[in-house]
Structures are given as structure tokens and as C-alpha cells.
Structure 1
Amino acid sequence: MKTELELSECDSLAFDWQGERRLFIGVAPSAQQQQTLNALLQQLQAPLQPVKPTNLHLTLLFLGQSSAAQTELLWQQLKTQQLPAFTVLLNQLELWPGPGVYCLTGVLQHRGLMQLDIQLRQAALQAGFLPPQHALRPHITLARKAKVLPAAAPQPPEVLLAPEKLTLYHSLSTPNGVRYLPLASLPLQR
């Protein structure tokens, strides 16, 4: 099973799985940002349930249940495009009680991120994916099953994401919780 590949090995991945996989496109924080976010996770108090540090990411487009053929069509389209680089400042902590997430958020204001959002949505529609239910709200989920704020909220850090690549992730349910496994990546153009 091709689930634990390193990104360098993933770029030539054949989209050959049977059935469907739960997928999304996102970007990962840098190693230094990962350390900052890990420190923030350690400050979270009950009733929040922090996500696993290895699952920290910013989702650009949630695809949902996806066949290999549909995903390959999407990825081939994206490979032919100039995908713009972007920056986004995440510096506010928010509770979203509807989906039950506590997250570090920012504002969608960088022109590159807005253009990338349009390109990803258009390519997904052309590949037969349903349109997203929500507009892009840049955030990194810190905790799930969050319905109320903790009594003592930590001070939000300032995390300036400037990723060099976007990644196709498989959201895999395991007995030990969900894991986000990278399947393929494409460079962002500066």
C-alpha cells in the first residue's frame, strides 16, 4: 500500500487505488513554524483535544471522497498550470463551534492565494468534483471536538506561511485517529 511515502517519492505516484479516498489539497508549515505550532498545541487546555502535530496544515481545497481517475485528471490539469506562490499571516485564535474546531486563522488578502484558490476550484470542477461548500478561510486547525473556549486561551503566535509547494493529502482514518498522508506535490511559482 502506498501510504507512507516521502514527498520526494510521491511526485511520480500512480493514481491507481481502488474505490475512493478522502482527499484534500493543502500546504504544510515550515520546520520552524511546526515548532511554534507544537508549542501552541502544548498550551491548549481541556476541553480542547489538540490535533497530532504531524497533522498540522493549511487546507486550500477539500475534495472529499475521490476516485483515482478523478484525482489523476485534477492533478494532470494542475501540473500544466503556473500555480502562484503566496503568503498568509495567521495570528488569531478562533473557535468555530459548527464544525467544532479551534484554529489559528488569518485573512485571505494575498493576491497569489486568491488566484490559487480560483485555479484550484476551476480545476476541481473540470475534473468532476463538487464545488466547495465554503469560501476559503485560511486557518490551521489546532483542536477538534471544540464546542467551547478554554478558560485560559493562549496568546496566538504570528505564523507567516510562505509555502514553496502544495500537496495532495489522503485523510486516512486509523484506530489511532486520523492521519494526513502526502500523496503528491507541485511547486508554487514565485
Structure 2
Amino acid sequence: MSAIQQQKRRLFFALWPGAAERAALAAWQPPLRELCGGRIMRPDTLHLTLVFLGEVAEHRLQAACLAAQEADFRRFDLQLATAHYWGHNHIVYATPAAVPAALAALAGGLEHGLRRHGFHFEQRPYKPHVTLLRNAKRSDADLPPMPAVRWPVHDFVLVQSLSGAQGAHYEVLARFGRRSTGE
């Protein structure tokens, strides 16, 4: 194998919030941290994962992009209305009260296309969420109601996860679903 084929990138597909949605989600973090402790996720890292691929050989990027282009993407609104705590991984996250059909279809279709293109990844029931806090410890108090965040979803992205001194940071490699006419 050549050196290019041996290089790998840690990749995932995600919904990437705009500035308004990112600010609204970040506003949830301080009151939730008051109850649960933990580490607030940096606003620039907030996202909703569609499919986590993990380590992917550099030469497979084009196949991943092709699978994304083949996915049946339709614009939709995502309403994030509640915060929950996951004890097994100690996170607090935002989630929709109901999963929009277009989101479930996108995640399922993307998984199917990626498998057709020879990608292997962990398969588990899809639970859309945006991680807000890590290393949280649940208090006895219920998590407070949060102001709903309306997120108009116009596209989805392929993201590379990079590690640095400040922790993980993400680089958007490609966008899919938005029409080139400016829609």
C-alpha cells in the first residue's frame, strides 16, 4: 500500500447548526451545568451526528462523498425541545421530542448507501442528539425545561475529527443537500 492509502481520517456525517441555532443550544448549557456539573462543549463543536464512520482511509473519501450525494435529502425543521442525561456515558444532550421522518430517512438512507459502498461502522438504533455537557453527574433534580430551538435543516456535512491541545475540534470537509442555486 502507498503512504496515501495508509493515511486515515476520523470521519462522521452530521447536521451542522447555523450561528443562531448554535447560540440557542449554547444558552442551554449553563443552567444544565448548574444541575449536573461536567464540561460544557465548545459552541463550535455542537452538532447532531447522522453516521459515525470512525477511521477511514484517505483514498475512501470520494466513496463516502458519493454515498452522501446518493442519499435522499429533503429539507426539514428540527425542533430540539428537551434535555436528557445519559448515565452510561455521562453526557447531557438536547433531543427532539419526536424524530422528524425526514431525519430518520436521511440517517437510514445514508447508512444504507455507505454500506453499499463498502463502509463498515457500528450499527445501533438511531437516537438523534446534540451533546451539550460531558463528564456530567446527574443530580436528583429534574432537568429544567428549555426554550425550544427551531433548526431549519438545509444540508448535512462530512466532518473530520481532529485532536489537539484544546481537545477535539472538527473540520467540515464537504456539504450535501443544499442546491447550488443559493437555496
Asked if these proteins are the same fold (TM beyond 0.5), I'd say: yes
Q: Distance in 1 between matches of 2:20 and 2:137?
A: 30
Aligned with 2:153 (options 155, 163, 183)? 163
- Name the structure 1 match of 2:7: 19
Does the aligned pair in 2 maintain the 1:48–1:146 contact within 8 Å?
yes
Which residue of structure 2 lines up, in the alignment, with residue 99 of structure 1?
A: 89
TM-score by length of structure 1 reads 0.80
1:33 aligns with 2:14: no
Query: When the two structures are superposed, what TM-score results if normalisation uses the length of structure 2?
Result: 0.83
DSSP-derived class of the 1:162 partner: strand
Q: Is 2:100 aligned against 1:110? A: yes
Q: Is the 8 A contact 1:108 1:114 kept in 2?
A: no
CA drift of 1:186 comes to: 0.9
Change (3 A) 1:32 1:176: same
Q: How many residues align?
A: 175
Distance 2:138 2:171 in 1: 29
Quick one: distance in 1 between partners of 2:170 and 2:103? 22
Q: In terms of mean alpha carbon deviation, does 137-146 or 101-110 score higher?
A: 101-110
Letter in 2 for 1:185: R
Mark the CA change 1:152 to 1:137 in structure 2 (over 3 Å): closer, same or farther.
closer
Contact 1:23-1:66 at 8 Å conserved across structures = yes
Which of 54, 62, 66 in structure 1 is aligned with 2:44?
Answer: 54
Structure 2 unaligned segments of length 5 or more: list them. none
2-structure distance, mates of 1:150, 1:156: 18
- The alignment yields a C-alpha RMSD, in angstroms, of 2.4
Q: Is the 8 A contact 1:105 1:138 kept in 2?
A: yes
**Aligned partner of 1:29: which letter?**
P
Change (3 A) 1:136 1:81: closer
Q: Could you tell me whether the CA contact under 8 Å between 1:104 and 1:156 is conserved in 2?
A: no
Q: 2:82–2:97: 8 Å Cα contact kept in structure 1?
A: no
